[in-house]
RNA sequence: GCGGGCGUGGUGGAAUGGUAGACACAGGAGACUUAAAAUCUCCAGGCCGCAAGGCCGUGCCGGUUCGAGUCCGGCCGCCCGCACCA
């Protein structure tokens, strides 16, 4: 019999189905384990990243099943979002049909992987049963004041024609469309996530099993700072403006203030803009600059002297000029700053440009040790920690260290009525309104008489209309089709019954993914969750997904879990929903980049080629490639490297291939992307080698948190190995040989060591190391002189240890070896500690830290005897060269080091 | 600028402060075969040497230690996140 993945895999998947092994059930006597991979967006195709993600989760789930846990391992679809609408716009059809079609396709591609998923719990976020419960949550949030409506300046994506949350703007561009966002003033719904800033920040410390990187990123995003908020009195301001509120984290530099700066969007600037043409001109100019990183770096720091002055809070006679400056953000603090050029580089640059005074506040009388910025010098930015600084003018020139100085400054200001210490967060409330069709409708109604009225819960779900009076909804016109849909939009007010209008905005799709993990615990319930189920299954014991969700999805989910707890939908402990988080790396692949001549542009642009379109070779030590079509056209054997080199050298002289440049750059490892033509389709791999090979490969070679490079040779090697294991075990079935007791013992000791190491690897995301150990053990087994019984015992353990990674093959081996039932249901093997230690041990012997010899000694030999034996070794004597040992270090079971 | 991470053979990568390079890919030699494929065996960090063996070696410099890829300090390089944040 030969190894046939297709046959084996279909057979055992059927057997698992029939046994109902993956159906999650609450159990009184088994511990529960909830493993979850971030659910996919139904794009229509699974990719290698999915395979890697779900395989990792599957290894954990299967290991937990084998160790007697009651496991919940569900799968669903993050199914609302723009691509469905874009597809509808591009090629007709309806987002719903497109989405459900894709889900069916992807499920069909995913099932052959043999994942231990409880498919009975599957749902899509676009199922009315799901988003209806989401609407119920929204109404509960509304009642508890966790969501509210306000008029606000928002980020508008002009391409997707919708609003974006702050988190969804990257370098001034929409996270999805890449378009530069505009600022618009709209009435929008917001989640009160900022009320939870402190809690979300502090609780990060309890997330021990989260990557430190993710915690740091969230910490920075929440952005806590402590400072002083106070006002400068404004002289002769326009009506209603007699002061300028300022927030500063460096109140210790207040005596170094030399100007006031306000944002062009500051109310005072807006007022002046209306009154004065010169101000209007400057503000328009200041707003024009882009918000991209490059633009900001290049942008000049511009200021406009309003001619107004402020009074310093410590000395009313001290006047400071008020500038409007283009680098001051209205969103942060109060939109106004005081400039302290002596201790801030940007302020110093500004002061030099506009000839403003530079006043040091940290200098003792003679400025000792605190250089004032000379012309061209840099600002002295006093460190917030450690350094001892003088706080001139506060509390009688006391000497304070770092943060204490800032606190002293705040205390002084509070005592003198000059403002108060405040804590600020960068985190803003989460705007959730989206002007799109394919999302969860916000369940409220606008009534002329009653205002904004929540929909009644019994009317939920408020379903998206599928068509309009029997005609498919038209997505060819930009904007939100719900706005143009009178029969859906127009309704009766739930409060007074008068004609009213439905809210036509839908929810941000990040809302959908902020609670799906909770829904999996009771996916068919007619309430968002069922407390009994949530209490049993929550929290997610292990969550696995990409680092790209470090802020958005994970922060929103943490907020949502808290909000759901407040509304009685989740138990207290689930306020942090994910006990452990693992962020896996990407699957990368080689990429071929060429230059395509562009006649019109009279230049060239990047063009990508499929790996099968190129011939690879080395040229001057660099990997390079030529177009295969070009090589064949010259009748050159693609495997003849020297001929390829010749072609590489001469092709410009004898160029008859037209505009295409046959020379290609090789990028050995790039993220798989359709447009870069370097995607490997899992379906093809599974077709060629089987799911077990794909699973084995994505787990081997690279640590799970790092990127793994897909190579054809690696995939083939994985398949060869699995075939070899099958062959070895298959041969064992007929084997009746007897071995020496020593050979049996050696093999079984190695077996226990392997059980020990692989178990450790599986439990700590050391999948690559576990696989390396399984390779090594396979080699040991293949070469062993042990008897058939010992070998079969070893092979059984091998199959069990491989089962989480290559479950189909493992079942087949289990069966070949004559075991009953399913390996998936068999208990995990346990290493016998007694077999992990041997009678003798080989120690390296060092002389002055350099290894000179090895010595094999009984494991219980005394230190002094080991020392004696080591010193007697010829190689050691030679290395000591007649010198007497000063000291001999013997670490039992580890090493001997002779110091001379 | 702030924060975090990483740097080991031709390649991916192993290594609780204790024999650096496990395991695999690519490579080389051989066996089997008419041949190829498949399979099996062996070699393989660099330099010197017939060999035994020796010297060097985990980005660079220094430190702690009997002993450092691992810990500490300082550089260099790369990657990631955040950022006109007051």
- ipTM for the predicted complex: 0.94
Categorize the per-residue pLDDT at A399 as very low, low, confident or very high, splitting at 50, 70 and 90. low
Q: What is the mean pLDDT of residues A98-104?
A: 96
Q: Looking at the C1' of nucleotide B6, which residue has the nearest alpha carbon? A: A706
Spanning CA of A895 to C1' of B16, the rounded length in angstroms is 15
**Of all nucleotides in the shown strands, which has a C1' nearest the CA of A851?**
B19
Residue-level pLDDT at A183: 74
**Of all nucleotides in the shown strands, which has a C1' nearest the CA of A347?**
B86
Q: How many Cβ atoms are within 10 Å of A249's Cβ, its own excluded? A: 14
Spanning CA of A618 to C1' of B27, the rounded length in angstroms is 15
User: Where do we find the tokens 């195709």?
Assistant: A45
Is the pLDDT reported for residue A232 higher than 60? yes
Residue-level pLDDT at A657: 44
Neighbour-count burial of A385, counting CB atoms closer than 10 A to its CB (0-12 exposed, 13-18 middle, 19+ buried):
exposed
Is the pLDDT reported for residue A296 higher than 70? no
**Of all nucleotides in the shown strands, which has a C1' nearest the CA of A845?**
B19
**Of all nucleotides in the shown strands, which has a C1' nearest the CA of A707?**
B12
- List beta partners, residue A262: A324, A336
Categorize the per-residue pLDDT at A298 as very low, low, confident or very high, splitting at 50, 70 and 90. low
Q: What is the mean pLDDT of residues A682-688?
A: 92
User: Where do we find the tokens 């990997």?
Assistant: A623
Spanning CA of A174 to C1' of B79, the rounded length in angstroms is 24
Spanning CA of A864 to C1' of B48, the rounded length in angstroms is 38
Spanning CA of A577 to C1' of B5, the rounded length in angstroms is 26
Instruction: Indicate the helix (H) or strand (E) that contains A743.
Output: helix A741-763
The token pair that represents A788 in the structure block = 């058939």
Residue-level pLDDT at A292: 44
Q: Looking at the C1' of nucleotide B52, which residue has the nearest alpha carbon? A: A875
Spanning CA of A713 to C1' of B26, the rounded length in angstroms is 9
Query: Tell me: the pLDDT tens digits for A47-98?
Result: 998 999 999 999 999 999 999 999 999 999 999 988 898 888 788 889 999 9
How is A204-233 classified by DSSP, letter by letter?
Answer: GGG-TBS-HHHHHHHHHHH-EEEEEEEEEE
Residue-level pLDDT at A364: 45
Is the pLDDT reported for residue A653 higher than 50? no
- List beta partners, residue A336: A262
Which among A312, A239, A244 has a CA at the least distance from the CA of A272?
A: A239
Q: What is the mean pLDDT of chain A?
A: 85
Residue-level pLDDT at A620: 66
**Of all nucleotides in the shown strands, which has a C1' nearest the CA of A327?**
B84
Q: Strand B: which nucleotides have any atom within 7 A of a protein Cβ?
A: 3-5, 12-16, 18-20, 22-26, 38-41, 53-55, 66-68, 80-86
Categorize the per-residue pLDDT at A370 as very low, low, confident or very high, splitting at 50, 70 and 90. very low
Residue-level pLDDT at A652: 52
Categorize the per-residue pLDDT at A146 as very low, low, confident or very high, splitting at 50, 70 and 90. very high
Q: How many Cβ atoms are within 10 Å of A307's Cβ, its own excluded? A: 12
Q: What is the mean pLDDT of residues A823-837?
A: 91
Residue-level pLDDT at A574: 96
Q: Coil, strand or helix: which one is A236?
A: coil
Strands (E), A599-726: 603-609, 614-619, 622-627, 663-671, 708-710
Is the pLDDT reported for residue A604 higher than 80? no
Residue-level pLDDT at A367: 44
Is the pLDDT reported for residue A833 higher than 60? yes
Spanning CA of A579 to C1' of B75, the rounded length in angstroms is 40
Spanning CA of A875 to C1' of B50, the rounded length in angstroms is 22
Distance between CA atoms of residues A788 and A734, nearest Å:
9
**Of all nucleotides in the shown strands, which has a C1' nearest the CA of A887?**
B66
Residue-level pLDDT at A386: 37
Residues above pLDDT 90, as percent of chain A: 43
**Of all nucleotides in the shown strands, which has a C1' nearest the CA of A889?**
B66
| Alpha-carbon dihedral sign for residues A449, A453, A455, A456 | negative
- Long-range contacts (CB closer than 8 Å, 24 or more residues apart) made by A626-633: A626/A651, A626/A662, A626/A663, A626/A664, A627/A594, A627/A657, A627/A660, A627/A662, A627/A664, A629/A657, A630/A657, A630/A660, A630/A662, A631/A662, A633/A657
Distance between CA atoms of residues A790 and A582, nearest Å:
38
Specify which of A103-112, A143-152, A602-611, A885-894 reaches the highest per-range mean pLDDT. Answer: A103-112
Which among A615, A614, A593, A613 has a CA at the least distance from the CA of A604?
A: A593
**Of all nucleotides in the shown strands, which has a C1' nearest the CA of A703?**
B13
Categorize the per-residue pLDDT at A373 as very low, low, confident or very high, splitting at 50, 70 and 90. low
If one compares A607 and A540, the residue with the highest pLDDT of the two is A540
Q: What is the mean pLDDT of residues A323-350?
A: 85
Is the pLDDT reported for residue A330 higher than 80? yes
Categorize the per-residue pLDDT at A163 as very low, low, confident or very high, splitting at 50, 70 and 90. confident
Residue-level pLDDT at A582: 93
Is the pLDDT reported for residue A175 higher than 50? yes
- On whether the CB atoms of residues A53 and A37 are closer than 8 A, the answer is yes
**Of all nucleotides in the shown strands, which has a C1' nearest the CA of A728?**
B39
Spanning CA of A780 to C1' of B54, the rounded length in angstroms is 33
Q: Looking at the C1' of nucleotide B5, which residue has the nearest alpha carbon? A: A213
Residue-level pLDDT at A346: 83
Residue-level pLDDT at A251: 83
Spanning CA of A897 to C1' of B68, the rounded length in angstroms is 15
If one compares A163 and A489, the residue with the highest pLDDT of the two is A489
Spanning CA of A403 to C1' of B72, the rounded length in angstroms is 27
Spanning CA of A701 to C1' of B72, the rounded length in angstroms is 32
Distance between CA atoms of residues A609 and A559, nearest Å:
44
Residue-level pLDDT at A381: 63
Q: What is the mean pLDDT of residues A413-422?
A: 85
What is residue A395's DSSP assignment?
A: T
Residue-level pLDDT at A571: 97
**Of all nucleotides in the shown strands, which has a C1' nearest the CA of A339?**
B86
Query: Tell me: the pLDDT tens digits for A198-225?
Result: 999 999 988 888 988 898 889 888 988 8
Residue-level pLDDT at A401: 54
Spanning CA of A191 to C1' of B86, the rounded length in angstroms is 27
Query: Tell me: the pLDDT tens digits for A237-280?
Result: 888 889 999 998 888 788 788 899 999 888 999 899 888 899 88
Q: What is the mean pLDDT of residues A616-643?
A: 75
Spanning CA of A618 to C1' of B10, the rounded length in angstroms is 12
Q: What residues contact residue A661 under an 8 Å CB cut-off, 6+ apart?
A: A594, A595, A596, A597, A604
Q: Looking at the C1' of nucleotide B15, which residue has the nearest alpha carbon? A: A769
Spanning CA of A850 to C1' of B62, the rounded length in angstroms is 21
Categorize the per-residue pLDDT at A1 as very low, low, confident or very high, splitting at 50, 70 and 90. low
Q: Looking at the C1' of nucleotide B20, which residue has the nearest alpha carbon? A: A851
Spanning CA of A690 to C1' of B66, the rounded length in angstroms is 53
Q: Looking at the C1' of nucleotide B4, which residue has the nearest alpha carbon? A: A213
**Of all nucleotides in the shown strands, which has a C1' nearest the CA of A852?**
B19
Residues above pLDDT 70, as percent of chain A: 89
Chain Cα centroid distance, residue A33 = 23
Q: Looking at A493-502, A645-654, A867-876, which range is the least confident one?
A: A645-654
Residue-level pLDDT at A523: 97
Q: What is the mean pLDDT of residues A447-466?
A: 93
Distance between CA atoms of residues A93 and A522, nearest Å:
33
Which among A879, A897, A877 has a CA at the least distance from the CA of A889?
A: A897
Is the pLDDT reported for residue A308 higher than 60? yes
Residue-level pLDDT at A554: 94
Q: What is the mean pLDDT of residues A365-385?
A: 52
**Of all nucleotides in the shown strands, which has a C1' nearest the CA of A381?**
B1
Categorize the per-residue pLDDT at A171 as very low, low, confident or very high, splitting at 50, 70 and 90. low
């Amino acid at each position: 019999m030969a190894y046939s993945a297709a046959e084996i895999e279909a057979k055992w998947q059927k057997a698992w189905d029939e046994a109902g092994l993956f159906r999650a059930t609450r159990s009184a006597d088994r511990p529960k384990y909830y493993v979850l991979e971030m659910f996919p967006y139904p794009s229509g195709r699974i990719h290698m990243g999915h395979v890697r993600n779900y395989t990792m989760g599957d290894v954990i789930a299967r290991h937990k099943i084998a160790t007697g846990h009651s496991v919940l391992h569900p799968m669903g679809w993050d199914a609302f979002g723009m691509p469905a609408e874009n597809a509808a716009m591009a090629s007709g059809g309806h987002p719903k049909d497109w989405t459900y079609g894709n889900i069916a396709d992807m499920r069909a591609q995913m099932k052959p992987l043999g994942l231990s998923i409880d498919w009975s719990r599957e749902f899509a976020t676009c199922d009315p049963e799901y988003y209806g419960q989401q609407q119920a949550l929204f109404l509960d949030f509304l009642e508890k004041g966790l969501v509210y409506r306000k008029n606000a300046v928002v980020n508008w994506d002009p391409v997707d024609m919708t609003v974006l949350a702050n988190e969804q703007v990257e370098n001034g561009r929409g996270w999805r469309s890449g378009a530069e966002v505009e600022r618009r003033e709209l009435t929008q719904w917001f989640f009160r996530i900022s009320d939870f800033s402190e809690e979300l920040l502090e609780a990060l410390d309890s997330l021990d099993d989260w990557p430190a990187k993710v915690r740091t990123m969230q910490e920075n995003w929440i952005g806590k700072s402590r400072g002083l908020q106070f006002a400068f009195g404004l002289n002769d301001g326009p009506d209603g403006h007699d002061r300028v509120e300022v927030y500063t984290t460096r109140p210790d530099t207040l005596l170094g203030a030399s100007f006031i700066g306000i944002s062009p969007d500051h109310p005072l600037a807006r007022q002046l803009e209306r009154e004065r043409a010169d101000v209007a001109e400057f503000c328009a100019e200041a707003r024009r600059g882009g918000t991209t990183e490059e633009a900001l770096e290049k942008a000049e720091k511009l200021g406009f002297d309003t001619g107004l002055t402020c009074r310093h809070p410590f000395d009313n006679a001290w006047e400071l000029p008020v500038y409007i400056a283009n680098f001051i953000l209205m969103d942060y603090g109060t939109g106004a700053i005081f400039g302290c050029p002596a201790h801030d580089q940007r302020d110093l640059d500004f002061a030099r440009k506009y000839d403003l005074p530079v006043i040091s506040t940290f200098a003792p009388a003679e400025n000792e040790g605190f250089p004032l910025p000379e012309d061209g010098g840099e600002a002295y930015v006093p460190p917030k920690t450690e350094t001892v600084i003088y706080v001139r003018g506060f509390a009688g020139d006391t000497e304070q260290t770092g943060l204490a100085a800032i606190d002293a400054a705040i205390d002084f200001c509070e005592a003198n009525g000059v403002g108060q210490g405040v804590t600020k967060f960068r985190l803003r409330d989460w705007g959730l309104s989206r002007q799109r069709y394919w999302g969860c409708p916000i369940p409220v109604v606008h009534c002329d008489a009653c205002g904004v009225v929540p929909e009644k819960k019994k009317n939920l779900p408020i379903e998206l209309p599928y068509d309009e009076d029997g005609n498919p909804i038209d997505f060819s016109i930009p904007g939100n089709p719900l706005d143009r849909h009178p029969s859906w939009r127009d309704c009766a007010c739930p409060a007074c019954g008068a004609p009213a209008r439905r809210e036509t905005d839908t929810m941000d799709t990040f809302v959908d993914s902020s609670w799906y993990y909770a829904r999996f615990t009771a996916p068919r319930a007619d309430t968002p969750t069922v407390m009994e189920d949530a209490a049993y299954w929550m929290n997610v014991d292990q969550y696995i997904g990409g680092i790209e969700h470090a802020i958005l999805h994970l922060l929103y989910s943490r907020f949502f879990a808290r909000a759901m707890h407040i509304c009685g939908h989740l138990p207290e402990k689930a306020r942090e929903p994910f006990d452990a988080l693992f962020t896996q790396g990407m699957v990368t692949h080689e990429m071929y980049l060429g230059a395509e001549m562009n006649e019109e542009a009279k230049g060239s642009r990047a063009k990508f080629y499929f790996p099968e379109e190129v011939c690879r070779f080395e040229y001057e030590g660099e990997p390079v490639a030529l177009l295969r079509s070009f090589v064949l056209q010259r009748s050159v054997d693609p495997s003849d490297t020297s001929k390829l080199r010749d072609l590489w050298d001469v092709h410009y002289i004898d160029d008859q291939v037209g505009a295409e440049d046959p020379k290609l750059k090789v990028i050995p490892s790039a993220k798989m992307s359709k447009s870069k033509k370097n995607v490997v389709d899992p379906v093809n791999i599974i077709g060629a080698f089987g799911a077990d090979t794909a699973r084995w490969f994505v787990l081997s070679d690279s640590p799970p948190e790092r990127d793994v490079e897909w190579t054809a040779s690696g995939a083939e090697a994985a398949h060869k190995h699995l075939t070899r294991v099958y062959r070895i075990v298959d041969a064992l079935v007929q084997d009746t040989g007897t071995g020496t007791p020593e050979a049996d013992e050696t093999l079984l000791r190695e077996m226990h060591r392997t059980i020990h190491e692989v178990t450790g690897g599986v439990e700590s995301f050391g999948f690559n190391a576990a696989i390396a150990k399984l390779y090594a053990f396979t080699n040991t087994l293949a070469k062993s002189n042990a008897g058939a019984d010992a070998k079969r015992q070893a092979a059984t353990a091998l199959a069990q240890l491989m089962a989480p990674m290559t479950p189909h093959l493992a079942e087949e081996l289990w069966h070949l070896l004559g075991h009953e039932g399913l390996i998936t249901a068999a208990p995990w093997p346990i290493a016998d500690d007694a077999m992990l230690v041997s009678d003798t041990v080989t120690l390296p012997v060092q002389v002055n830290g350099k290894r000179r010899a090895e010595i094999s000694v009984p494991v219980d030999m005394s230190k002094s005897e080991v020392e004696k034996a080591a010193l007697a070794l010829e190689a050691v004597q030679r290395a000591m060269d007649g010198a007497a040992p000063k000291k001999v270090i013997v670490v039992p079971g580890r090493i001997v080091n002779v110091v001379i």
